[in-house]
A = this chain, B = another copy of it.
Amino acid sequence: MALIVQKYGGSSVADAEKIRNVAHRVVETANAGHGVVVVVSAMGKTTDGLIRLAHEVTPTPPARELDMLLATGEQVSIALLAMAIDALGHKARSFTGEQAGIRTDAAHTRARIVGIDGDKVRRALDEGLIAIVAGFQGVTDEDDITTLGRGGSDLTGVALAAALHADVCEIYTDVDGVYTADPNLVPDARKLARISYDEMLEMASLGAKVLQARSVEFAKKYGVPVHVRSTFKADPGTLVTREDSRMEAVVVTGIAHDRSQAKVTIRGVPDRPGIAAQVFGAVADHGIVVDMIVQNVSRETLSDISFTVPRADRPKVVATLEEVARRTRAEDVTFDDRIAKVSIIGVGMRSHSGVAARMFRALSEERINIQMISTSEIAVSCVIEDKYAELAVRALHEAFELGKENAATA
C-alpha cells in the first residue's frame, strides 16, 4: 500500500461534473488500496474572478485581505470534492491550509512554506479517510491566512508529499506529461517517461509551463518523485525524479521556448566600473526580474548592455533606463518586443562537448540569426527573432533527434 498525493488544477475541477470525475479517479486510487491525499485548486477561473471583485472595491487591496479573499476559492473546491467522494460511498474530510497545518511566513500573496504539521491529515488517513487539502494557501504563526502565489497548489502538493513521506506526488493537468518540445509546434515531439529535477527546473524556467520551477526545487530538495499526468486520460505521464545513469546518456532531453520576453539595450555606455550596477540597480528597484544579460565593448571606451525582461515590464524598464542614460551620458536606449528565447536542456551536456556548437549550426542552417546567448551547466539558450521561434524549435528537435526513442545519445 502506497501513500499518494494527487493534485488537481482549476481546469480539472471547473464545474460539478468535472468534480465528480475527479472524485471517481480519487476513489479508484483509494479502492486500489492506497492512502490518498488530494490537493485542489480553485474552480476554473474563480481566482481571477475574486481578484476582479477586489479591484471593484479598491485598486489597491491590502495583501492580507486579498489572501483572506482568494483563499475562499480553494475552500469551495475542497468542500465540493469531499461531498462528491462521499456521494460515491467513500469517506473524505476536507482541510483548509490552516487545518492541514501548512505554516508559512507572513509574505502575503507570495508566502513561503516554513513547515507542515501533518498530524491531522495523517490521523484522517489512519482512520481510512481520503484527505482533501486546499492548495495555494497556508497560515502564519499569527493565524493569518496566506497564499503561496501563482502555481502555489503544485507546491502544496509537493510539500505535503514531502511532509507525509508519500511515495509520489501526482500532478494532474490538462497536458499528459512533459514533452521533448511543445507538441503544438513539433508534431513528432515525444512524451518523456522520466526527467531529472534539474532538467525539469531548466525547462520550467526556460518557458515550459507544465510545472512551476518553485515546486520542482522543493521536490528536488526533499526527493519527492513527481508524476505529471493528465486528468482526462489513464496513461502514465512523466516522472520527475532523481538523475540516474540512463539520463546522462542522453545529451539533450528537451527543447523549451519562451515568447513572453522583450529585449532592452542601452547603447554607448561609458565602459567604467559601476555602470552595470547603476543600470541593473535601477531596474531592480522596480522589482523587475532580469533574465539574460549580454555586455560587449563596442567602441574603445563605450559598451552596449542588452538584457531581457518580461514583456509586460518593458515600458517601465525603458523609462527607467532613459533616466540612467541621461545620468551616465549613454547614447540611447532601444528595445525589441519581437524576440523569442529557445533553449536546449539535458544533464548529458555536462559530459559531452560540442553541444552548443551543434545548436548554433542547426540555427544557422535555417539562416536564423542569434542575438544573445546564455549557458548553464545543463542548458544553452539563444535569443532570436520571434518569427523564427517555431522553425527554431523544430530545427533543434530534429538536430538532436528528439523524435526518436533513444535520441541524441553520444
Instruction: Output the nearest chain B residue to A143 by Cβ-Cβ distance.
Output: B99
> How far, in Å, is A18 (CB) from chain B's closest CB?
10
CA distance A143 to B139 in the complex (A): 14
Instruction: Output the nearest chain B residue to A17 by Cβ-Cβ distance.
Output: B56
CA distance A208 to B366 in the complex (A): 81
Is B68 in contact with A79, judged by CB distance below 8 angstroms?
yes
Q: Which residue in B53, B71, B82, B143 is a CB contact (below 8 Å) of A65?
A: B82
> How far, in Å, is A129 (CB) from chain B's closest CB?
11
Taking the complex as formed, is A61 at the interface, i.e. its CB lies under 8 A from any CB of chain B? yes
Is A80 in contact with B94, judged by CB distance below 8 angstroms?
no
Q: Which A residues, 35 to 57, have Cβ-Cβ distances below 8 Å to chain B?
A: 50, 53-54, 56-57
Instruction: Output the nearest chain B residue to A142 by Cβ-Cβ distance.
Output: B120
Is B57 in contact with A68, judged by CB distance below 8 angstroms?
no
Is chain A's binding surface mostly helix, strand, loop or mixed? helix
Taking the complex as formed, is A78 at the interface, i.e. its CB lies under 8 A from any CB of chain B? yes
Is B83 in contact with A20, judged by CB distance below 8 angstroms?
no
Contacts of A87 in B (CB 8 A): 57-58, 60
Taking the complex as formed, is A402 at the interface, i.e. its CB lies under 8 A from any CB of chain B? no
Is B83 in contact with A78, judged by CB distance below 8 angstroms?
no
Known contacts A58-B87, A62-B86; A53 and B71 CB within 8 A of each other: no
Is A76 in contact with B83, judged by CB distance below 8 angstroms?
no
Taking the complex as formed, is A320 at the interface, i.e. its CB lies under 8 A from any CB of chain B? no
Taking the complex as formed, is A317 at the interface, i.e. its CB lies under 8 A from any CB of chain B? no
Is B84 in contact with A16, judged by CB distance below 8 angstroms?
no
Known contacts A20-B57, A57-B20, A75-B72; A64 and B93 CB within 8 A of each other: yes
Residues of A in contact, count (CB < 8 Å): 38
Q: Which A residues, 1 to 43, have Cβ-Cβ distances below 8 Å to chain B?
A: 15-16, 19-20
Q: Which residue in B16, B58, B145 is a CB contact (below 8 Å) of A83?
A: B58
Is B76 in contact with A75, judged by CB distance below 8 angstroms?
no
Taking the complex as formed, is A66 at the interface, i.e. its CB lies under 8 A from any CB of chain B? yes
Taking the complex as formed, is A282 at the interface, i.e. its CB lies under 8 A from any CB of chain B? no
21 inter-chain pairs at a CB distance below 8 angstroms, sorted by A residue, are: A19-B57, A20-B57, A53-B76, A57-B83, A58-B83, A60-B87, A62-B82, A62-B83, A62-B86, A65-B79, A65-B83, A65-B86, A68-B78, A68-B96, A69-B75, A69-B76, A69-B79, A72-B76, A72-B79, A98-B98, A120-B143
Known contacts A16-B57, A61-B83, then 12 further A-B pairs from the complex at CB < 8 Å, ordered by chain A residue: A15-B56, A20-B57, A57-B80, A57-B83, A58-B87, A62-B86, A68-B75, A68-B82, A68-B96, A69-B83, A71-B75, A72-B72
Interface residues of A (CB under 8 A from B): 15-16, 19-20, 50, 53-54, 56-58, 60-62, 64-66, 68-69, 71-72, 75-76, 78-80, 82-84, 86-87, 93-94, 96, 98-99, 120, 143, 145
